[in-house]
């Protein structure tokens, strides 16, 4: 008896490998996947503006990475004893304008360099609902779409649901601009399986429907774009609240692992999957905390693991195993 409904996922035209450079942008689900890729030694740059949920803020961030503007104090606003940007997550805020601007401009510079050499762009859209500033808000002009509310008063925002046409009309010229700076860029779209129930259950489904329709329209008109069905894997394949965290909003560890395995099957090669298994084994060994670090048994274990890492690095010199080696070498007896 089957308790979930698996479906075939088309393979990515240009698979992601350890030589690839992947820029990941969007919702917190992007960060879940980006963390797994980085842990397995892929070249990843993850959310240079912090977590972004709506298509407008994602598009503006990508334009920012292409154009590489320098942010100044006029791009910030002061609230709750900190300086913030309406285009960035709160992790870029600071107690002084200089602190915030240093983080923002450093991240923008890194993203600008990365997007020009990236082989893949991974976009995860979370919600088609956008929050526009009112004339009571400080900072940007009214109707500007905030990427993060920074816990500002509700009176500072008005809510609007984007239509599929709104989204496609925004992304079509953006894709052309991306192709100008990086013609071979492979774009991977996903819709976040995280449910935005604060908007309301019906409103969340309306939002996801708009995102899905827009993304499929974009993929159908761009040969170098691909849709990975993370949303459908959780909602239609697993389809069980046992795969959600206690908040009934975020997929839990088991769901995320299942999506990860599906992603590897569709978007990587057999060789890459074999390398991932080797790296996972090395990560586990490097994270091992022995009771007796100076015991002969543990010293032999450390030496064998270091030899394994050195052999893997010799076979695949583009892998950076320096962190794992560092963790192990400090455990060696002098």
pTM of the model: 0.93
Residue 191 main-chain phi, psi, to 5 deg: -110, 130
Q: Indicate the pairing of strand 129-133 with strand 120-125.
A: unpaired
CATH of domain 21-268: 3.40.50.1110
- CA dihedral of 207, 213, 216, 221, whole degrees rounded to 10: -130
Mean pLDDT by 10 residues, the chain (334 residues): 83 96 93 93 97 97 98 95 97 98 98 98 97 89 93 95 98 97 97 88 95 98 96 92 82 92 96 95 90 88 94 94 92 84
CA dihedral sign, ordered 64, 143, 47, 213: negative
Phi, psi of 259 (to 5 degrees): -65, -40
State residue 249's pLDDT score. Answer: 83
Give the residue from 32, 107, 25, 95 showing the smallest Cα distance to 60.
25
pLDDT of residue 106: 98
**Closest by alpha carbon to 13, among 124, 171, 123, 120?**
120
d(CA 93, CA 90): 5
Q: Which two tokens stand for residue 185?
A: 């860029």
pLDDT of 1 reads 63
Q: Domain map of the chain by residue range?
A: 21-268, 278-329
List residues bridging with 124 in a β-sheet.
26, 190
Check: CB of residue 31 under 8 Å from CB of residue 47: yes
């Amino acid at each position: 008896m089957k308790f979930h409904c698996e479906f075939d996922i088309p393979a990515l035209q240009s698979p992601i490998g350890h030589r690839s450079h992947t820029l990941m942008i969007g919702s917190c689900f992007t960060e879940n996947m980006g963390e797994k890729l980085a842990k397995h030694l892929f070249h990843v740059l993850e959310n240079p503006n912090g977590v972004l949920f709506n298509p407008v803020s994602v598009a503006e961030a990508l334009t920012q990475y292409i154009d590489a503007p320098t942010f100044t104090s006029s791009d910030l606003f002061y609230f709750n004893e900190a300086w913030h940007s309406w285009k960035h997550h709160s992790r870029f805020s600071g107690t002084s304008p200089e602190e915030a601007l240093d983080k923002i401009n450093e991240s923008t510079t890194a993203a600008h360099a990365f997007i020009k050499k990236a082989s893949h762009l991974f976009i995860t859209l979370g919600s088609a609902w956008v929050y526009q500033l009112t004339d009571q808000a400080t900072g940007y002009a009214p109707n500007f779409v905030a990427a993060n509310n920074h816990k500002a008063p509700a009176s500072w925002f008005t809510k609007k649901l984007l239509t599929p046409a709104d989204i496609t009309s925004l992304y079509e010229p953006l894709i052309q601009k991306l192709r100008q700076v990086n013609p071979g860029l492979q774009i991977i779209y996903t819709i976040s399986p995280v449910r935005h129930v604060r908007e309301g259950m019906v409103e969340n489904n309306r939002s996801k429907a708009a995102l899905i329709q827009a993304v499929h329209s974009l993929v159908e008109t761009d040969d170098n774009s691909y849709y990975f069905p993370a949303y459908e894997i959780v909602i239609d394949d697993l389809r069980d609240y046992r795969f959600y965290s206690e908040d009934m909003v975020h997929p839990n560890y088991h769901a995320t692992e299942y999506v990860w395995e599906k992603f590897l099957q569709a978007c990587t090669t057999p060789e890459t999957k074999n390398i991932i298994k080797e790296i996972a084994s090395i990560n586990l060994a490097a994270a091992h905390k022995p009771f007796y670090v100076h015991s002969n048994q543990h010293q032999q274990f450390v030496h064998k693991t270091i030899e394994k890492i050195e052999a893997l690095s010799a076979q695949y010199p583009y892998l950076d195993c320096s962190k794992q080696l560092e963790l192990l070498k400090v455990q060696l007896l002098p």
